[in-house]
Amino acid sequence: GAVVSQHPSWVICKSGTSVKIECRSLDFQATTMFWYRQFPKQSLMLMATSNEGSKATYEQGVEKDKFLINHASLTLSTLTVTSAHPEDSSFYICSATRRNNQPQHFGDGTRLSIL
Partner 1 sequence: AQKVTQAQTEISVVEKEDVTLDCVYETRDTTYYLFWYKQPPSGELVFLIRRNSFDEQNEISGRYSWNFQKSTSSFNFTITASQVVDSAVYFCALSEAASGGSNYKLTFGKGTLLTVNP
Binding mask 24-63 for partner 1 (x = CB under 8 A): --------x-x-------xxxxx--x-x-----x------
Query: Using an 8 Å Cβ cutoff, are 25 and 4 in contact?
Result: yes
Binding mask 61-90 for partner 1 (x = CB under 8 A): ------------------------------
d(CA 60, CA 70): 18
Listed residue (87, 40, 44) closest to 63, CA to CA = 87
d(CA 102, CA 7): 23
> Which residues form the interface with partner 1 (CB under 8 A)?
32, 34, 42-46, 49, 51, 57, 91, 93, 95, 97, 100-101, 103-109, 111
